[in-house]
Amino acid sequence: MENKDLVWDLDSFRKRQRAKELILGIENQLCVFSGSVQQLYTSYDIFFPKDENRKLVILPNPYAPHDTFHGIPEQSVRATGLFLVASEAEQTKNELQLILPINRAEKKYRRVPLEIGLKLINSKRDPSKPFLPVVMKGDLREFNQATPCLHLHSLSLDKLDLLSALEQKAIESVILDRLAHLSFVRKQA
């Protein structure tokens, strides 16, 4: 059965190449959530099929089934209003930044380096409930109609009632471990 949540459209992007670089740069660094099958993928490959022009396909690693978590209900993942972008300034080229809303009503935002943004977010949270970002279909978009970005969703472990405490801790650990190594859009070979 084909999982439509793992096929993303790139047709509307003005800076399609930058969007591809951003998504490839975070490959296996941010977990991908699929609500239709209630799965969280921590190990995957991203492809741009030639016969499917302007689409990207996320393929879970078939040799690492233990890297896919099952039974993740859609209500455990919520939108955050936070955006991940690559810096376009020459001195910080490809450094990942978070776009934080300052005033949503006035559409005012502030860009900060990813590490600083994560520390700020977690400083306002209960230490036992860290920010656990995931992405899903529709999250790769353009900010201000020009800058490719990834909208981040947050996974709430306390809504994973069907998973054991051990499974919840494993999910938290893998997300935080990947996040700790994410700071730059990695150049593809």
pLDDT, tens only, 82-138: 999 988 765 566 689 999 988 767 778 899 999 999 999 999 999 999 999 999 999
Q: Where are the alpha helices (DSSP H) in the chain?
A: 16-25, 114-123, 165-180
- pLDDT tens column, 34-89: 999 999 999 999 999 987 778 999 999 989 888 999 999 999 999 999 999 988 76
The C-alpha atoms of residue 139 and residue 8 are separated, in whole angstroms, by 9
Q: Scan for tokens 């993303």, then name that residue.
A: 8
Six token digits for residue 86: 């690559």
Q: Any idea where the domains of the chain sit in the sequence?
A: 4-77+130-180
Task: Determine whether 6 is exposed, middle or buried from the number of CB atoms within 10 Å of its CB (0-12, 13-18, 19+).
Answer: buried
* Global confidence as pTM: 0.90
